[in-house]
């Protein structure tokens, strides 16, 4: 068995994975399939009132990873599942994934420890170069440009002009709004 990437309908990855499993069981082909994954990571987001929420974000929207054996029957079964586009590969032939890439992706899908102590990223809607206005804190109502985004800590560095000089200010991402 090898890992393969399957292109599927965008935003329907979970339902297509479930549908594919049903078709595999109906056809009695469980021995040819291992896991079918939707690669995701946990990300911290904040609601409008500042409440912290952990959500799952898809690493590769529109793609599934399948650990399977390729033969004519399994290839046809996967391809004929509604919502499935095709396998990734060259010349119409599915290409197995590099083991190093598989290890990286599967490690992010499965948590490292059972305690859940893995540091989470914070979903920050700003990118370097975006113009923002500070909406609370010491620099309220000042405008600046995002210089750096730190998703691990939920902070952004904004360049604000104070007394005619450009000054980098580190703020929490919820303290600013887009212009």
The class of domain 124-178 in CATH terms is mainly beta
What confidence category does residue 122 fall into, taking pLDDT thresholds of 50, 70 and 90? low
Residue with the bigger pLDDT between 44 and 32: it is 32
Whether pLDDT at 155 is above 90: no
Region of poorest pLDDT, from 72-76, 154-158, 172-176: 172-176
23, 103 Cβ separation under 8 angstroms: no
Task: Give DSSP secondary structure letters for 88-146.
Answer: -EETTEE-PPPHHHHHHHHHHHS-SSTT--SPPEE-----TT-EEEE-SSTTTT-EEEE
Domain boundaries, the chain: 2-121, 124-178
What's the mean pLDDT in 58-71? Answer: 88
| Residue 92 near residue 34 (C-beta atoms within 8 A) | no
Same fold, 2-121 and 124-178: no
Closest CA to 149 of 114, 173, 178, 118: 173
pTM of the model: 0.60
27 against 105, higher pLDDT: 27
| pLDDT of residue 113 exceeding 80 | no
Average pLDDT over residues 38-52: 75
Q: Tens digits of per-residue pLDDT, 78-100?
A: 888 899 888 887 666 788 888 88
CA distance to 97, 124, 131, per residue, from 144 (Å): 43, 16, 6
Distance CA 66, CA 89 (A): 14
**Entry field: residues in the chain:** 179
CATH architecture of 2-121: 2-Layer Sandwich (3.30)
- The pLDDT-based confidence of 127 (bands split at 50, 70, 90) is confident
pLDDT > 90? residue 21: yes
Position 114 scores a pLDDT of 47
Least confident piece of the model among 11-15, 71-75, 100-104, 150-154: 150-154
How crowded is residue 56: how many other Cβ atoms within 10 Å of its Cβ?
11
Q: What is the pLDDT of residue 118?
A: 54
């Amino acid at each position: 068995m090898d890992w393969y990437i399957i292109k599927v309908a965008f935003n329907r990855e979970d339902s297509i994975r479930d549908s594919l499993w049903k078709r595999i069981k109906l056809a009695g082909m469980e021995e040819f399939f291992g896991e079918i994954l939707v690669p995701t990571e946990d990300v911290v987001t904040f609601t409008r009132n500042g409440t912290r929420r952990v959500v799952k974000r898809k690493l590769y929207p529109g793609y599934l990873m399948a650990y399977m054996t390729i033969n004519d029957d399994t290839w046809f079964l996967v391809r004929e599942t509604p919502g499935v586009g095709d396998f990734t590969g060259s010349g119409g032939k599915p290409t197995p994934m590099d083991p190093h890439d598989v290890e990286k992706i599967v490690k992010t899908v499965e948590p490292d420890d059972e305690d859940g102590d893995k540091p989470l990223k914070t979903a920050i809607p700003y990118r370097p170069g975006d113009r923002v206005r500070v909406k609370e804190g010491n620099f309220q109502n000042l405008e600046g440009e995002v210089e750096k985004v730190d998703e691990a800590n939920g902070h952004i560095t904004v360049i604000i002009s104070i007394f005619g000089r450009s000054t980098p200010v580190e703020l929490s991402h919820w303290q600013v709004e887009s212009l």
